Structure 1
């Protein structure tokens, strides 16, 4: 029977698969760190109070990239380039979700709508990240090699999701509710399709590395398509709801470091 624990255990136990997994994760986290850093630098005057929180978000993402690189180093492995078809962040950008990198590389301040779009996109993608890390903590939170890493990253992702909820609710109360809901729905529907495609690409590469039989690869692909069908029908609604989080001002303090891990 296929289980998440069993699949990830296979990946952890194989150096080549583990190298690919950590490299893809490090690339995505560091890309997110750069994006948040640029957004923090370009926040419009009307929302300058958000800049430190956005910068904290970016610092956390950079830290996660360093953690994945440290995991590779501990195994005696080097980071490899993530295959383009597995680049979740860049594929989302090509789909028009989030802020274009061309705009982030410039010097023009962002607009208030840009900040709303950033937070709506982040609320959706951080839901995915938080859910994935919660699963990994359940399966591997006590693992001697990766347990501390997944617990640390999982706590940060929960903070990021809480921050998105809180800030979007503030903006909704300021009169941006309809814009927020439209952007959330657009982001969620695009994200679930990108997540399906990236998941298929990653599992295809893992299958070749781990020499999975065709039946196993076909079953995994069918499961990924089934998740997409559910999310496309009703599951996306969970990604667009907003509620005041238990963790208030989750990104209001100084960022933690990965020193104790690395």
Structure 2
């Protein structure tokens, strides 16, 4: 029977597919760590109170990258280059989601609107990350190899999502509400398309690695397209709604050290 659990079990059990899965994840986390680090360094003086939280966010992303690389080392596997069509974070940046890398490399102080846009984009992408990690914990939280790092990353993603909600609501109260809502809606329209395209590319690559029959690949492809249709017709609202989280000050304090997987 085809299920999310059986699908990911196949990927985890095969060295080549596991190598690709961890490499894709590590690459995305590394990019997120770099982006947050640069944003923290360029925060405008009027928003310097956010710098430690953005730094913590980046440190968490760097930690996640190390955890995925540690999983590769435990199997004596090396990180492989991620094909462009599988690079979710890079494709989002190229589509205009997140602050442009050219701006982050320029060493010029960001504007308040830049920070509002950054947090709005993070709200959307962290929802995706939190949902994915929650699913992995549900199915593989007790996995002897991947369970512990997956749980650690899931907790961090929940913190990141809570931080985005709290800070965006605070900024909305300071007069940035219209910019936040406009940016959230613009971002989610692009994100669901990029996620669909990357998901199709990942499943195509995994299918070739694992030797899936044509009917299985077709079924998975149909499922991905149906999920995109659901998100386009209304599922997107989950990623743009703002509610004050129960977990307040989720990114206060330093990042926790990630233990070797």
Q: Would you say same fold, with TM above 0.5?
A: yes
* Distance in 2 of aligned mates of 1:191 and 1:137: 23
**Mapping of residues 190-205 of structure 1, within 5 Å:** 190-205=190-205
Q: RMSD in angstroms over aligned alpha carbons? A: 0.6
* Structure 2 runs not aligned, ≥5 long: none
Per-residue displacement from partner, 1:53-93 (whole Å, max 9, x unpaired)?
A: 00000000000000000000001101001111011111111
Per-residue displacement from partner, 1:22-44 (whole Å, max 9, x unpaired)?
A: 00000000000000000000000
Give the TM-score, by structure 2 length: 0.99
Number of residues of Structure 1 aligned to a counterpart in Structure 2: 261
Report the equivalent of 1:224.
224
**Mapping of residues 104-183 of structure 1, within 5 Å:** 104-183=104-183
* Structure 1 runs not aligned, ≥5 long: none
1:98 partnered with 2:101: no
Per-residue displacement from partner, 1:201-248 (whole Å, max 9, x unpaired)?
A: 000000000000000000000000000000000000110000000110
* Distance in 1 of aligned mates of 2:177 and 2:2: 41
Comparing 250-259 with 209-218, which one deviates more in the overlay?
250-259
**Mapping of residues 1-262 of structure 1, within 5 Å:** 1-259=1-259, 261-262=260-261
Give the TM-score, by structure 1 length: 0.99
* Distance in 2 of aligned mates of 1:255 and 1:75: 27
Report runs of 4+ in structure 1 exceeding 2 Å deviation.
none
Per-residue displacement from partner, 1:184-208 (whole Å, max 9, x unpaired)?
A: 0011111000000000000000000
